Amino acid sequence: MSTSTPSSSSLRAAAASSSSSSASSSPEDSSSNNSTSSSSNNSTSSSSNSSSGSSESQNKSLPRVLYSSLSRSNDALPLAVVAAAGLALLRPEAFAFFEPLHYPPALGFLSFSIGLSLDPSSFAAALSRDGGRGFAAGVALQWLVKPLVGISVARTVVPLLGLPTAVGNGIVLCSVVSGAQLSNYATFLAAPAFAPLAVLLTSTSTALGSVLTPLLALLLLRTRLPPFDPAAVASSLAQVVVLPIAAGVAAQRALPPKMIAAARPGLSFLALLDTVSCVGASLASNSRFLTGEGGSSTAALILAAVLSFHGLCALAGSAAASVVSRCCGGGGGGGEEEEENKRGLGRCLALQGGMQSSLLALLLAHSVFGADPLVSAAAGVSTAAMTVFGFLLVVYWRSRDGRSRDGRKVS
């Protein structure tokens, strides 16, 4: 049985027809193939370009995100202060790294940060603003109003709360020391235009304190404090305020503006860490007074008395600013600038009134009233309370400013 096989002629015919059909269709197919391959190549190259572009944009966006995050360091102040306060009360040892000898350089760095944003002429302007009445009101607030508030709280609030006289003595001692240097940075955050006035007021109160603190303590407490060393006071003032601010102003003038602008977010973040360390350390070192060692109810009552003192002093500062504004503002409707000045002066004097150098009062309490721990307890609570109180005021004002800006945008 034979199998049928295709003949050679039929094979050649099939091959010819196949080649002819392929030859006739080759121009269209080749063009479509070329277009397909070119489109696929284009899509591949575009996808590779987009992927490389996206990776480049991501690489470029990372510094922007970091820069933006650091620039908003001051906006993190509310959470940072609350977190530091909670950590200091729950785990005081977390701030063991921050010792008393670290306060001067820490405060000096905050002063340097302020100096980077100030112009030397702003200090002269601060003295001449409102005809110098704002400065005069700040000095009177420090050395006249606050001692009166202190003795009033000691003789009314303290007995009303059933606390011993020693607690009142501690509050009076806090009322006759100079203003806290931290109030400068707090004012810088809450009312930047009035930071020079705050610096002048705390510097003046520190210089006058070497004379007025012992004199007022003798008058109000019938207690003779150890004499202050004027040279030590001048050295501390130079180390914490004068030299750092002068260095900041000099850096602002010597360095290119772009360099200052590039460094500012990092400095804001360091200032945030600095502030958190000061707040946390002051709370941690006095946590035994705040967490109720010797009786939780007594600690709570001492805290209430101390907060009443700082709160009343802050209100007195705000009231003094209102009086100055009425005297100098003409009492008319005024404009937005006048309202801004009134608000800024009120914040500055409120912080000057509410924040005292309670750490100095604590040192004096230990040296003069060492036999009575309740005097030191009041000063210790004040050291922590005035720091948190002042920066919570800043947090409230900044959040209110943010809401006002949002309201203007919406309307």
pLDDT in tens, 144-198: 999 999 999 999 999 999 999 999 999 999 999 988 888 998 999 899 999 999 9
Q: Residue 190 burial by CB count (10 A; 0-12/13-18/19+): exposed, middle or buried?
A: buried
The dihedrals phi and psi of 291, each to the nearest 5 degrees, come to: -95, 5
Q: What is the pLDDT of residue 12?
A: 43
Q: How many domains does the chain have?
A: 1
| CATH code of the domain covering residue 239 | 1.20.1530.20
Is 228 a domain residue? yes
Q: Name which of 125, 71, 134 is nearest 268 in CA terms.
A: 71
Inside any domain, residue 6: no
- Is residue 247 a part of any domain in this protein? yes
Q: Show the domain range for 124.
A: 100-330+337-401
- CA distances 40 to 26, 36, 44, 55, 298, Å, are 20, 6, 6, 22, 80
* pLDDT band, very low/low/confident/very high, at 76 (cuts 50, 70, 90): confident
Residue 151 lies in a domain: yes
Q: Does 59 reside within a domain?
A: no
Among candidate residues 2, 318, 281, the one with its CA nearest the CA of residue 141? 318
**Does residue 10 register a pLDDT over 50?**
no
Confidence check: pLDDT of 408 > 70: no
- DSSP track, 153-178: HHHTHHHHTT--HHHHHHHHHHHTSP
Within a domain: 187: yes
The predicted pLDDT at position 5 comes to: 40
Residue 5 lies in a domain: no
Q: What is the pLDDT of residue 317?
A: 92
Residue 50 falls within a domain, yes or no? Answer: no
Q: Which of 130, 137, 126, 135 is nearest to 319 (CA)?
A: 137
Q: Judge if pTM exceeds 0.75.
A: no
